[in-house]
Structure 1
Amino acid sequence: MRQTIGDFLIRRLQEVGVRHIFGVPGDYNLEFMQQLEVRGEPAWVGNCNELNASYATDAYARLNGIGALVVTHGVGALSAINGIAGAYSEHVPVILISGSLPLRAVQRGDLMHHTLADREKGNFCRMFAEVTGAQARLTPENAVVEIDRLILTAWRNKLPVYLELPSDISYLEIAVPEAPLALEMMPSEWESLSTCTEMILRRLRSAKSPAFLLDLDAIRFGVAGQIMVLAERFHIKVATLNCAKGAVAESSSQYIGTYAGIGSSRATREAIEGSDCLLTVGYRRVESTSGFFTAKLPASAIHLNSHHVDTAEMTYQGVYLAELLQTVVDSSSGNPTTKPPARPPTKSTFVPSAEPLSQDAYWKAIQNFLQPGDVIIAEDGTSSAGFGRLTLPDDCIYVTGAFVWCSIGYATAALLGASLASPGRRHILLTGEGSLQMTVQEISTVMRHDLKPWIFVNQNQGYTVERAVLGKDAKFNDVATWRYSELPHVFSRDKKAETYVVTTSSELQKVLDAPHSGMVFVECVMNKFDAPIDLIIGGHAIAETDYGARGPQAAPNAQIALPTKPAERTVERPPR
């Protein structure tokens, strides 16, 4: 079978489930873009800039299993590299296709635009080698092998990859395989898998207080089902790190909450730290997910990783996470499964009032607003800290970049990718104005594709998370106060959006209770010193970690302070 290189690449993307492609056109990728236009699918999305495209693709891949974006050489690729680095640190399979210099120009050493004027010899591949799982520049000779290698590497390892497509080869015909590309994990090494399975079952059967601790790989590798079967079969308590919220149903009686070292509830901490058979899934001791290194896991813990298992005594190499957990499930099928009753849905005790809107009232209203099946995209800072204490209804998906890469602005562009990846669900963006200003243009793309999410923006005059770290009332933590609720009308002449400004919890509740048919944009005005308690605690911990005990945060009034009693958490209406 013969096919052009560009068409073969598009075909492979379709075969692995890519239904939308994000990105920005540029002269080095236009020949590939034309092939995509003629083919008609996957659907071209088109973004306001490459950074937004990388964020949108990241969220799309989290929900869809894999995603792809197209940029142009140099300027486009480096504009996207921040989002690609985030995908690398948070284990998201993204395929970055960079339309690059003509192959003849590379071979001749011609000086071209969008380069460093240095007769480019692979320097962008080397740059991306630090933040991707694999890299390649396509040629007619290697195109088939490298396209398949990069796609499989991204999917199997849950990491982004970087693919350069020279602008003069996309229309060249080559011999290609007729068979579709099958997304299959490598099989585990049989002896390691067998002995590891026996070890885990032996430990579980003798344990009095077994527990699971889930990092984000439990979501990326799709193993929540096996984990909950084992949890019910062996009466295992299940906790998640903050970055893995939503990995398992929070209504399950096996679920015991978020573990974050000393930031955990007493029951959660005792269950994890006192477990005589703790199984971690993809655990990484990052300061922001381990309670600033206060996590104390038992030395006897069994650490299940994507490609190997570690214990204090031994490492089992070549054992793959999903296959291992399924083998443990199958090998323990004789154990009766007793599924405990689910907890009833969580509703907060919340009475709306005409008092100025506070963080406390805002999050109680949001808790009651959530429904089963929602997709919630929460920005780093106030939004992720406030949302972290809420209980997810069943079948909800939680998307955030708040705990590992922590690049503010992610959530607004991620809303686009999440919405396209999961049609038919209700999508909710929770963000702050500082983060919104980073990537706000992508709301125009959301509207261009006639998507209808809920968007909640905390308008509190600046970077609240930074005020909790250092600079409570410093000018460097201020941002311009936009008329946020008017932005949808600026971004689209034709698409209708319902926009609101709320300053009290009664006004907010009225919006939440009303019927809506289009996109809903809610600007929530709050005091700039009002913050979720976890944000304040986390901000103080960041300052201690970053600056030391004698840092500038020790000065009077340098940070948003912890409340001494609830009555002191008053809210004043900020000037408009």
Structure 2
Amino acid sequence: MESKQNTGDLTQRMTIGDFLLRRLEEAGIRHLFGVPGDYNLALLQQLHDSGSLEWVGTTGELTSSYAADGYARLNGLGALLVTNGVGALSALNGVAGAYAEHVPIICICGSIPLRSIDRGLGMHHTMADGNFDHFLRAYAPVTAAQARITPRNAAVEIDRLILTAWREKLPVYMELPSDIAYLEIEVPAHALVLAEPPSDPERLQSCIAALAQRLSAATAPAILVDTDADRFGVVPELMELASKLQAPVAAINAAKGVIDESFAHYAGIYGGKASEPQAREAIESSDCLLAVGYRPIEVTTGDFTATLPAGTIHARGHAVDIGEENYQAVTLKEVLRGVIEAVPAVTNRAPQPAAAAAPAAPADSAAALTQAAYWQAIEGYLRPGDVLYVDNGTSFSLLGLKLPPNCTFIGSINWGSIGFSVGALLGALTAAPERRHILLVGDGSFQVTAQELSTILHHDHKPVILLINNGGYTIERGYLGKTEPYNDIANWSYADLPKVLHPGATAQSFVVKTCGDLQSALAAPNDRLIFVESIMDPCDAPAPILHSSNVGAELDYGPRGPQHRENLQLRPGTLK
């Protein structure tokens, strides 16, 4: 790799594939998820030869995209490698989910040879119509940037895409034609630096002054956080600001666990009428609310019942709205650091502790397991530092539990793609194998991506998988079809899957039907993978989950919808 001086910048010659792998490594990416295909094998061989990244082959591109998402949530950036057309479109759903959840991942697609594009030659994994831009266009709505890499643009575009993903906290899409990975080009010799562009000095100081003035003059300031507080790395600043102002901090449900729930100023989850009482009072009565990255949809606003105060300040990663003013070219961390320094400390607003829930009566160990007893046991099972996963369904009950300190919550709240959690589990396990990982999933969601359990076992990961087997899509039964066959699924012997998917696996499996069975399973040492299959009644579901589904049906189907027919909707209190 010859280096030379070129117009003041040190450069060197490298193959395009090696440069891409080097840049990924410099960006902090240590693993690449994906599925091999003939168009991406050249890059895979370079990866194998260089040892720069570790390849994690998955059972399909969809779960590769989920894995890259889970990895990025703990690592800061994730990446996957797919092949043209069939692989790219299989991964599209997961990349769209990363876009909806503001997760920075880099989707690299080994695409058809540049020679074929230049000459208009038909190739497999295309539409056979002579148009080679279909998949770039397909990715445009769900990525922050897209590019086809060529020898002429590679040095610039590879850096641009990686930096865009990191700065915007959004996915990007890169097509790498299969015949250029081994071509040498001149590239920068210096390492890629992940850094925000500096703020405009005047805009930054004006924004800090305006925000500090509003917060200092308020008698009831409050802070509301969405997931961007975590994505842009400003949680420590927000907690420091809350402490200095003695101001309550609430989170929307998509940001569960972002604020340490043992923090003295944590007020709970805010979602309109679905809020915890203290959180609703703190947010809706605030005379100066700072909302960070707030993106309201029906599942995060109590079905559109959230009412933010007039004049709410909206802060995003690179812009802040204060009244009529919009401050651009500022970074959120710089703004918050400046505000912390500028506001005076408050000592006369003591935090109001959240009302302690009445302790639940111990469950009868011989009693059949119910959702209520299940979630009571799960809350007692959690410990500081856990990584917790939910999927669409009754596992959303985790949102109502109090988490110990330093837990990480991983879910697809905005996108709501069932099966996301199993792939995300693989990715986050890969990023942080030293932490305890607990997957909370229902049978319906699990069946979508269950095959990825084989990869988890292949890499000797040791998560705790807690699966509810209640015969189908319970959350959908609350919308429509309480007992209709379209919400039923085939029953599996879930607890047997570890040994089926990975013969010789030493996983511990349990099938539990009573409260005592569950307690025994949860007492097992986590020195290997634990799989707990909990059998429950199909009509048993937590009341908040069913209420949300019932209201969701009204929003989805309107006053003429079939949900009004007798006994067609699972409702709270159905189980006797």
Give the shorter-chain TM-score range.
over 0.9
1:396 alignment partner in structure 2: 407
Q: What is the correspondence of 1:52-451 to structure 2 with a 5 Å cutoff?
A: 52-332=63-343, 349=360, 351-352=362-363, 353-384=365-396, 386-401=397-412, 403-451=413-461
* AA partner of residue 553 (structure 2): A
* AA partner of residue 387 (structure 2): V
Alpha-carbon displacement from aligned partner over 1:159-184 (angstroms, at most 9, x marks no partner): 00000000000001111111100000
Does the CA-based 8 Å contact 2:76-2:104 persist in structure 1?
yes
Q: What is the correspondence of 1:499-518 to structure 2 with a 5 Å cutoff?
A: 499-518=509-528
Q: Tell me, what secondary structure is at the counterpart of 1:182?
A: coil
2:61 alignment partner in structure 1: 50
1:416–1:337: structure 2 CA closer, same or farther, 3 Å change rule? farther
* AA partner of residue 357 (structure 1): L
Tell me the distance in 2 between the aligned counterparts of 1:336 and 1:164. Answer: 56
1:350–1:182: structure 2 CA closer, same or farther, 3 Å change rule? farther
Cα root mean square deviation, aligned: 1.8
Asked if 1:477 corresponds to 2:487, the answer is: yes
1:341 CA displacement: 11
1:153–1:503: structure 2 CA closer, same or farther, 3 Å change rule? same
2:6 alignment partner in structure 1: none
- 1:27 corresponds, among 35, 38, 45, to 38
- 2:499 corresponds, among 473, 489, 495, to 489
1:574 alignment partner in structure 2: none
Does the CA-based 8 Å contact 2:22-2:52 persist in structure 1?
no
* AA partner of residue 108 (structure 2): I
Q: Tell me, what secondary structure is at the counterpart of 2:164?
A: helix
* AA partner of residue 428 (structure 1): I
Identical positions, percent? 51
Tell me the distance in 2 between the aligned counterparts of 1:316 and 1:88. Answer: 24
Tell me the distance in 2 between the aligned counterparts of 1:255 and 1:26. Answer: 48
1:537 CA displacement: 1.1
Tell me the distance in 2 between the aligned counterparts of 1:277 and 1:31. Answer: 56
Structure 2, unaligned stretches of length 5 or more?
Answer: 1-11
1:99 CA displacement: 0.2
* AA partner of residue 369 (structure 2): L
1:145–1:348: structure 2 CA closer, same or farther, 3 Å change rule? farther
* AA partner of residue 433 (structure 2): P
Tell me the distance in 2 between the aligned counterparts of 1:284 and 1:91. Answer: 11
Q: Tell me, what secondary structure is at the counterpart of 1:288?
A: helix
Tell me the distance in 2 between the aligned counterparts of 1:192 and 1:441. Answer: 51
1:548 alignment partner in structure 2: 558
* AA partner of residue 306 (structure 1): G
Asked if 1:6 corresponds to 2:17, the answer is: yes
Alpha-carbon displacement from aligned partner over 1:279-308 (angstroms, at most 9, x marks no partner): 000011211111111111011110001221
Does the CA-based 8 Å contact 1:465-1:535 persist in structure 2?
yes
Q: Tell me, what secondary structure is at the counterpart of 2:57?
A: coil
1:331 CA displacement: 2.9
* AA partner of residue 378 (structure 1): V
1:573 alignment partner in structure 2: none
Q: Tell me, what secondary structure is at the counterpart of 2:21?
A: helix
Does the CA-based 8 Å contact 2:265-2:352 persist in structure 1?
no
1:266 CA displacement: 2.5
* AA partner of residue 387 (structure 1): L
* AA partner of residue 380 (structure 1): N
1:347–1:69: structure 2 CA closer, same or farther, 3 Å change rule? farther
1:554–1:18: structure 2 CA closer, same or farther, 3 Å change rule? same
* AA partner of residue 431 (structure 1): V
* AA partner of residue 402 (structure 2): T
* AA partner of residue 34 (structure 1): Q
1:348–1:362: structure 2 CA closer, same or farther, 3 Å change rule? farther
1:89 CA displacement: 0.8
* AA partner of residue 374 (structure 2): Y
1:315 CA displacement: 1.3
* AA partner of residue 264 (structure 1): S
1:330 CA displacement: 3.0
1:339 CA displacement: 9.8
* AA partner of residue 92 (structure 1): V
1:65 CA displacement: 0.2
Alpha-carbon displacement from aligned partner over 1:136-187 (angstroms, at most 9, x marks no partner): 0011110010000000000000000000000000001111111100000122
Q: Tell me, what secondary structure is at the counterpart of 1:71?
A: strand
Q: TM-score scaled by structure 2?
A: 0.95
Alpha-carbon displacement from aligned partner over 1:264-284 (angstroms, at most 9, x marks no partner): 133221111110010000011
Q: Tell me, what secondary structure is at the counterpart of 2:495?
A: helix
Alpha-carbon displacement from aligned partner over 1:90-148 (angstroms, at most 9, x marks no partner): 11100000000100000000000000001133221111111100000011110010000
Alpha-carbon displacement from aligned partner over 1:375-414 (angstroms, at most 9, x marks no partner): 0011111102x1111011001111001x200000000111
* AA partner of residue 467 (structure 2): V
1:361–1:518: structure 2 CA closer, same or farther, 3 Å change rule? same
Structure 1, unaligned stretches of length 5 or more?
Answer: 571-576
1:346–1:557: structure 2 CA closer, same or farther, 3 Å change rule? closer
1:350–1:440: structure 2 CA closer, same or farther, 3 Å change rule? farther
1:319 CA displacement: 2.0
Q: TM-score scaled by structure 1?
A: 0.95
Does the CA-based 8 Å contact 2:69-2:103 persist in structure 1?
yes
* AA partner of residue 394 (structure 2): T
1:250–1:203: structure 2 CA closer, same or farther, 3 Å change rule? same
Point out the more displaced range, 519-528 or 35-44. 35-44
Tell me the distance in 1 between the aligned counterparts of 2:174 and 2:120. Answer: 20
Tell me the distance in 1 between the aligned counterparts of 2:54 and 2:355. Answer: 40
Tell me the distance in 1 between the aligned counterparts of 2:442 and 2:32. Answer: 27
1:452–1:135: structure 2 CA closer, same or farther, 3 Å change rule? same
Tell me the distance in 2 between the aligned counterparts of 1:489 and 1:495. Answer: 5
Tell me the distance in 1 between the aligned counterparts of 2:283 and 2:354. Answer: 21
